Every structure is written in structure tokens, then in C-alpha cells.
Amino acid sequence: MIEVTRAMIGRLGNTTTIIKDRFLGFLIWQSCQSTLIYFLCKTLLAPLAPSTTFSAAVFAFLFFQLSLLLFSTSLFLVSSPQPVRGVSPIELLLGILKLIFVHGGQPLPSDFRRRARITLSFILFLASSGVSGFLSVVCLSGSQVFGALGLRGLAVGLIYGSHHVLTRRWVLDFPIVQRPLFFSYKMGVRKAVVKAIKLSSAGYLLSLVLFFFINDHKGRQLAFGGLVIEQIVFYFACVVVFLCWELNLHLLQVFLTKRYLFAPPKGSAAAETNPSDHLLAALEETSEGSVVRYLAYLDLCMVSESNVDTWRRAAFFEETGETYKKVIAVCLKPLEQLTLDLNEGLGLGTSPDKSFQLSHQLCSSTQLLSSLHEPFYDFQVCAWCARIAASLTVRSHKEDRFGVAQLSGSNAATVSTLLAALLAVETLMGKKTNLQSPNQYLNGPANIKWAALSPTRRDTTIRTAASSNKKDIPYYSKAYSMADILRTSIYQIVSNFHQQMLTSSKAGLLDKDWIATSAPTPTPTHDLLLQKLKMFLEFQAN
């Protein structure tokens, strides 16, 4: 869940208030848009809704705003830049029983407590959605239909909350193109309106069961005309409530995913001495799942790839080389972790026989599918890191006046990490790696032979995913995208350093100049990385 890092001090400075300020701005703007929608709705419903006194109208407006404030706050608390896994209700119950009877009041394992907090935040969101739906529908419909429509409002609120949690709409989606706030907001209004109409229609139909139950047990007898008016009022109120919620969700996405400049003002003393200090602090001192760290990676990616803040990128290549090594280190770490997790999930690097039993493992254990999907929870960060590392390596060809990228070994570490990650992802996608002999390499088009899994293994893997199509496997789309990003990043480096790599290859120094002395993980081996690099050097990697 969103973590507002309170303990960050020193170098991080004013960035500790990033999320707080954006949340307050979100609350202000959501209250403005909800006020406009509320009065527009009351104007349209005036001929159908019962007349109320001025004081009742004021209280209805205040409670409507409070209900949206409750929903918006819970929406903010449950939002996260990456998917997170909680505990099932049974696991939560067993954990409580262990805490009482087994552990004797002693704390449970930290991982379980973290996942339990995630589950409790989801439950809190469901409860707030129900309460907000109850109050909002009552305030929009009028006090005379409090009982019937209020309970149905509670039901549609729970339906919306369940849909939001189960479809993982709480995961923040960082846009590819950064726009000003107004244009970013405008881009999603139409989509929010369509989504609100669809969800409100589904919620209305599902709440009809509760409507008939209430009518049977309350003995409410309405004329046909009154019944029709009540249904019209309720449906219109549902559409308005869902529209407010969808717009709030879109507005929160816009505020939290907007780029933040982790840099001192240009021309200040800090900009002359330590221009990269705030950015490195945000990358090194914040927790892994925090929004601040994601914003730092986004800022670093835009600085590395664009020519807007060239003075900030030039500061990376300072004479000592310490800044550049730190920047590359924080970018390669997520990629190394991705490679390690995939190799462990595939059973590589521990036992030679396990790599040949991949399909059997996938078929016999559904937990392995989850373990292979979890490494891609940091997909956005890994994608940014691959692009950043490749862009800085390419930029160093012309902008690195002191040669710190090459002398520090960062170029070799970058190429090795990207190759290792690509091999792990391609193995996951169904490609099999065979290390060939030198004679085979000279006679063949490439050193690495890629072959699809045998039909038996392929069919077993597909049956594991309970589908006849490999694309239905949960992690397949992200693995395909990650492989494309890694391949493109490596080709960028190879294209810019092609002549140097050819010279090193002819002199037999390609591995010394472009492959790190120690592999990021137990697999792939040093020779396998070298052969894969030669494959890229011949522009035959696909």
C-alpha cells in the first residue's frame, strides 16, 4: 500500500511531503468536481425527488461530501504502484488463532503481518465503499426513501468495492506520455463516464434481488407510477455515485503518477555542488514499494532519455565516477533481482536436472505459477531500469568526458545484467538455451541455439495454465514486453558501440571489456553471456 515515508531525513529533504501534498491537492479537486456533479444531479432529479427543507438539503450535501471523502481516503490508502499479495480469510483466521494460543501474544512473522495489513486495508476499502454508497444514494434520492434505496446503495457500494479489489484497479498505472494535470485528467474523463455507466447498470441489476426481498418483508405497497419513479431515481443516483467514484479514481491516478523533479532549483548552490543528491536519496533511502521511489525512477528515466535537463545528466558523469556508479547500481539491482527470482522459479542454478523438469514442475504445483508471476510485480521499475541503464551507457559514448562509465566497469555490468535478465525471461517464455562448441558457432548463424520446448512439455505447460493458449498464462504478456524492452536496450548499446565491440572481439577481449567478471546470478554462465552478446553483435538476436 502507499507508504508515506516519515522517517526520511537528511538528503531527502522536502521530498518527504510529496505524497502528502498530492493527496491534499487530490482531495480539494475531487470535492470541487463532486460539488458540481451533485448540484447538477439535484437539479435534474428535482421533479422526481420529494421536496425537502433547506436544512435537510444542507445536511444532505454535507453528508454526500463526507461519504466521498471517506471513499477517497480509503481509495488512497489501498492504492499501490505495484501489485501486492495479501492473505486469504482462512490464513488470517489461523494467524489470529496462532497469535492467541500458540505464540502467546508474541508478534507473528513480519511477512505475515505485512500481508495481513494488506488484507485488512482491502476489507476497510470494501466497508468504506458500502458506507459511502449508502450515504450517497440517500443524499441524492431524498430522506423519504431512506430505508429501501439506502440498503440498495450499500449493496452497490460493496459490489463496486469488490470489483475494484478483485480486478486490481488499485494498482497505479504510470502513463507513457507525461502531460500537464488538466490534459491528463481530460484524457480519462470519457473512459470514466463509460465505466461508471457500465458498473452502475450491473450494480442496479444485482441490487434488484435485494429490492424484491425488502418489498416482501417490509410490506411496502407502491402504486405502479411510484415504483417506476423510485427505480428511476435509484438508477440515476447509482450512475452519479459511480461517476464520482470513477472520476476520483482517475484524478488520484493523475495526481500520484505525475512526474516530480528530484533536483534543486537550477542556478542554486545545491545545483552547482550536488545536483543528483535528492534523486539518489529518493532511490536509496525510500522503501521498495513506495510511490516516491517509483517517481524517482520515472524522473531518472526521463532525464536519461530526453534532452530537457541535460545539466542533470551531465552531473552523472562527474570526474570521480561515484555518482554514475551509484545511478547504475540502483538501476541494475531490480534487474538482478528479477533474474534471480526467475532462475529460482524455473529451478535453474541449483540442480542440473531441474531445468529439464520445468514442465513437470509447472504441472504439479500451481504455486510455481504464482512464484513466476510475482517477479513481474516490479515490471514497471524493471522496464524503467533497463531503459535508463541502456540510455546512460549510450550517452556515455559522447557525454562521458572522463570515461568513468568504461573505467568503473559500469558498461560491462550493464551489458551482463541485461543479457542475464533477457536469458531468464526468454527461458520462461519457452525458449531452450544450448551452449554450442566454437566450431558449431563458426559454421552456424549464432552461438546460441534457441528451440521451442518439446510438444509434451509444451502441452503440459499449457495445461498448467488451464488454457489452450500460452498467452493466457498470467505473466506471459509482461514477460513478452520485458523481453522486448531488454532486447531493444541491448541493441541500443551494441549499435552505438558496434565498432569497439568488433575490435574487442577480433582481439579476443570482448568478454574482458563487455562481460562482468562475476555473473549476476549462478546462471547463466560467463560463456553463455558471451555467446549471447556475439549474437547481438551480428544483429541476429530476436
pLDDT of residue 362: 44
* Nearest 10 degrees: Cα torsion 169, 175, 181, 184: -80
Please return the burial class of 259, using the count of CB atoms within 10 Å of its CB with bins 0-12, 13-18 and 19+: middle
What's the pLDDT at 98?
76
**One pLDDT digit (tens) per residue for the chain, 542 residues:** 444 343 344 455 555 688 999 999 999 999 999 999 999 988 887 777 666 778 888 999 999 999 999 999 999 999 999 988 888 778 777 877 777 776 555 677 777 888 888 999 999 999 999 999 999 998 888 755 556 778 888 999 999 999 999 999 999 999 988 899 999 999 999 999 999 999 999 988 888 877 666 554 444 455 566 677 878 888 999 999 999 999 999 999 999 999 999 988 887 888 888 899 999 999 998 888 899 999 999 999 999 998 888 999 999 999 988 999 999 999 999 999 999 988 887 776 544 444 434 444 444 445 556 667 888 999 999 999 999 999 999 999 999 988 999 888 899 999 999 999 999 999 888 776 655 544 444 333 444 444 444 444 443 443 343 333 455 566 788 999 999 999 999 999 999 999 999 999 999 889 888 998 765 544 567 888 999 999 999 888 77
Report the 3 state secondary structure along 440-503: HHHHCCCCEEEEECCHHHHHHHHHHCCCCCHHHCCCHHHHHHHHHHHHHHHHHHHHHCHHHHHH
Could you tell me the three cell numbers for 339?
Answer: 533474474
Rounded CA separation 396/445 (Å): 31
Sign of the alpha-carbon torsion through 319, 322, 325, 330:
negative
45: amino acid identity, one letter: L
**Sign of torsion, CA 492 312 290 71?**
negative
pLDDT at 218: 45
Residues in the chain: 542
Question: What pLDDT is recorded for position 80?
Answer: 93
Whether the Cβ atoms of residue 121 and residue 78 lie closer than 8 Å to each other:
yes
The 8-class DSSP code of residue 15 comes to: G
pTM of this prediction?
A: 0.85
d(CA 477, CA 474): 7
SS3 of 320, please? coil
Cell of residue 77, nine digits: 490508502
CB 496 within 8 A of CB 398: no
Identify which of 169, 174, 175 has the alpha carbon closest to the alpha carbon of residue 83: 169
